[in-house]
Amino acid sequence: MIQSSKQDSMGHGPVIDLVGVSKRFRRTLAVDDLTLQVERGTTFGLIGPNGAGKSTTIKMLMGMLRPSGGSVRVLGRDVPREAVSVKQRVGYVPEVPQIYGWMRVGEVIRFCRSTYETWNDTMCEEMVELFQLELRKKVKHLSKGNLAKLSLLLAVVHDPEVLILDEPMAGLDPVAREEFRDGVLRTVCERGHTVFFSTHAMDDIHRLADTVGILYEGRLLVHRDIEQLLSTTKRIRATLADGATPGRVPVGTLWHRVEGREWLVTVEDFSPEKAQQMSAEPGVSHVEVIDLGLEDVFKDFVKGRRAAS
């Protein structure tokens, strides 16, 4: 029997709590035994290749898809059974905003205002001004950037306890992306909301998230504090003598390859002893430890899993 982490709606335990969650579409296993907790007031970034199961996971959190197995809880509530009450307390921005194109911006705002008891008129007015949204403009005439801003406004101004974002900046030009991320999402994160967002942009993750998860083929490869992940995942570069072949890789190797006379090994939970082990291998003349950015860490986790499968 699956047991969920202890949690209630008063702030005890994880706000988002998935335990042993799976989702199958006929023969395709989109999410595979996913266990993940996100604590109150933190920002979590989910990254993974296309088809990794990110959007499927988010749709299960929102009650839009029913899990094939496991437990999905948000704010202490079982999502499949209490999706309506959960949605009142959660803000959601889908990858493709689902807003009627024939409506004007002001009409959309008034319509959504009527559905939330906690709608904050003052915050709404501030965000309309901040985003420079034209209330009389039809939704279908909005740019991608302004459509994304309107979608975020509708998700935030009822003061949700949790904000869930699925690729919220996909398709934005660089200026709109920077404005959306640094001028808007950062403000949301600083308000103390719990934020769960997926993206392909590693820079967004590094700037905004406290913790990061890497999803691959529906399985969670790692979930860790970002700075801890970067400080403990290192690449060791060894120079091989002419004709020498690589020796044993250290325990915890994610991915390794040979390029000419260079033997490159990426390890998690790095320690100086692992570099010393490689240095002691026959045919190795020089060893160097290299710091990695989040994008390289992500790539090597994924490449290592692909090589192992």
- Statement: residue 79 has pLDDT above 80: yes
Domain coordinates of the chain in residue numbers? 16-224, 234-291
As assigned by CATH, the class of the 16-224 domain is alpha beta
Give me the percent of the chain exceeding a pLDDT of 90. Answer: 58
- Tokens describing residue 44: 């979590």
Q: Which of 3-7, 50-54, 239-243 has the highest mean pLDDT?
A: 50-54
Q: Quickly state the pLDDT bin for 130 (edges 50, 70, 90).
A: confident
- More confident position, 155 or 72: 72
75, 15 Cβ separation under 8 angstroms: yes
What is the pTM (predicted TM-score) of this model?
Answer: 0.87
- Statement: residue 172 has pLDDT above 80: no
Average pLDDT over residues 213-231: 95
- Statement: residue 298 has pLDDT above 80: yes
Q: Quickly state the pLDDT bin for 6 (edges 50, 70, 90).
A: very low
- Statement: residue 309 has pLDDT above 80: no
Average pLDDT over residues 266-281: 92
pLDDT at 187: 67
pLDDT at 12: 60
Give CA–CA dist 213/215, Å, rounded. Answer: 6
Q: Quickly state the pLDDT bin for 211 (edges 50, 70, 90).
A: very high
pLDDT at 3: 41
Q: pLDDT for 85-125, tens place per residue? A: 898 899 999 888 889 999 999 999 999 999 888 899 998 99
